[in-house]
Amino acid sequence: MATNEDILLQAQAGIETTRGTNVAATRKVYAMVTPSLNRPLAPFRNTTGTFQGRRRASYGRTKVAFSASDEATYQDLPWWLQFALKGGVTGSTDGGSPAGYVYTFVPTVTSDNLSSMTLEFGDAGNPYESGQVMVNSWTLRMDADNEAEPSWMLDLELIGRDFETTTLTTSLADRTTEPILARGTKVYIDDVGGSIGGTQKTGSLISCSITGNNAITYKAFAEDTTYVAANKVGRGEQTFDAQFTFEFDADTEFAKYRSTVAAQRKIRLEQSGGTAIHTTVFPRMRLDMYGYWSSWSRGTRVNNLTATFGFMGFYDTTATGAFTAEIVNALSALA
């Protein structure tokens, strides 16, 4: 097997039962994964009566991180959402033949149940492995004008615990996946008191992005020499923020931002497509957000004015969260 060929890079992963207890990979990961490793080197200045003071060296604890970018698909996006939003989610069958499965992700607000993975990466001649890999932050984005990226895209920032040589798990099957196109995405915006997804806003949305931050911290203690401790994870405030670019042909939403009293907006993004699961049921992505406009700026798109709104997610008591996601596909499991 050739070594050091960029095209032969691989990534594959398995979901850990216990954080920090490495497992064998169970699936290929199609995202472009880029690792980074930082071992802070601390030189102690020796007093030797010379101009060369660096004579002793020691390393601090190793910090492991990854960036990943993937084309969002109906089949793989819910697998990633187990690390980004809520782990252990199972599909609910719609009773069709063949069955469709609905995966609903409502982040748990009182306990930490995000999944972790063991990630194998590199090429077959030079493979590495990292355990307790978790999604610290993520962004889902789309731009209906971008012909180079015609689908929804998923960008992730991950942190890991260790970084060791390994042997890649073999005989993992390829999967059939279907991109979630940016074109055809519907947006619904509703007022407080109304049901989310009730009012479609047409002839308006151009692009958008949604970012979630899980504020994960890893812990280490005196006995942890090289890496942080296994299964010792801290969590801070989970936040959701978004940005939307619309054609600026009406004052409606801008007026909501200028209002003296903050006006809650309920926003749903929905896309359906791919191969029919049964009858008229197709794979679907539905993203629901609750919050308020947080910024506004004006721009142009060819000959027309545009408005770009920042959006800050706020906890909604009815939805029991600030952001939820629902994916429909034909998969009975997300292993």
Residue 45 pLDDT more than 90? no
- Residue boundaries of the structural domains of the chain: 9-38+62-168+177-329
What whole-number distance in Å separates Cα of residue 261 and Cα of residue 258?
Answer: 9
pLDDT more than 70, % of the chain = 99
Give yes or no for a contact between 283 and 314, defined as CB atoms under 8 angstroms apart.
no
Tokens at residue 306, please?
């545009």
Residue-level pLDDT at 329: 98
**For 84-104, what is the mean pLDDT?**
96
Residue-level pLDDT at 2: 57
Q: Give residues with Cβ within 8 angstroms of 144, minimum separation 6.
A: 182, 183, 185, 205, 206, 207
Residue 1 pLDDT more than 60? no
Closest of 88, 89, 122 to residue 16, by C-alpha: 88
Closest of 116, 6, 67, 95 to residue 277, by C-alpha: 95
Q: Rounded to the nearest 5 degrees, what angle is found at the Cα of 323, between the Cα atoms of 243 and 15? A: 110
Please state which of the ranges 43-52, 66-75, 102-111, 300-309 shows the lowest mean pLDDT.
43-52
* Whole-structure pTM value: 0.95
What ranges in the chain are assigned the alpha helix state H?
77-84, 252-258
Residues in the chain: 335
SS3 of the chain: helix, strand, coil, percent, to 5: 5, 45, 45
Buried/exposed code over 154-176 (b: 16+ C-beta within 10 A; e: otherwise)? bbbebbbbbbeebebbeebeeee
